[in-house]
Amino acid sequence: MADAATEARIQEILKAHRRTVTVLSSLITVQDAIGWLPPESIPAVADLTGRSVNGVWGVVTFYTHFRFEPPGKHSLEICWGPSCQLFKSKRLMEMTEQFAGVKFDGTTPDKQYTLRGLECAGACALAPVGKFDGKLVGRLNEERLQKIFSGLNGK
């Protein structure tokens, strides 16, 4: 059953977004505002864009960027694209899993951390890279990652 408050918020977000109405831009706008895509967002985007619900689901499931559950307080993302893998991003992913105590594509039970792999952060010249609470950090190494973890523990 749809949550009326969430549905109203989605409508408000989409109404403000009418300038450039595409399925993809509408989905990104909702997720940026709410942090994830609640079930109510799919038919709302379909109505706004004149597409079918199935058409919107096709876009949502094609891109790995979209979340279907509320994220944790902190978002920890490590790129695992080819350039980052050459610079040992797999080891950084293992360290991140050890730090948070959860595997990638998961959220800790206390909702503190959500871990996600980035297919490509688009910053290959800075490989390996990660995004921490939305901030892109390049030239990651084990020492820099430990400093990021220390900063998160203090929040």
Residues 42-74 pLDDT 10s: 999 999 999 999 999 999 999 988 999 999 999
pLDDT (0 to 100) of residue 3: 85
pLDDT reported for residue 1:
44
SS3 138: coil
Q: What is the per-residue pLDDT across 118-132, written as a single tens digit (0 to 9) for each?
A: 988 899 999 999 999
Q: Residue 14 has what pLDDT?
A: 82
Given its phi and psi angles, is residue 119 left (phi above 0), alpha (psi -120 to 50 degrees) or beta? alpha
**pTM as predicted:** 0.79
Of 100 and 14, the structure prediction assigns the larger pLDDT to 100
Pairing of the two strands 74-79 and 113-118: parallel
Helix residue spans in the chain (DSSP H): 4-16, 23-34, 41-49, 53-62, 82-86, 89-100, 142-153
Neighbours of 35 (CB within 10 A): 15
Closest CA to 152 of 120, 90, 122, 108: 108
Q: What is the pLDDT of residue 46?
A: 96
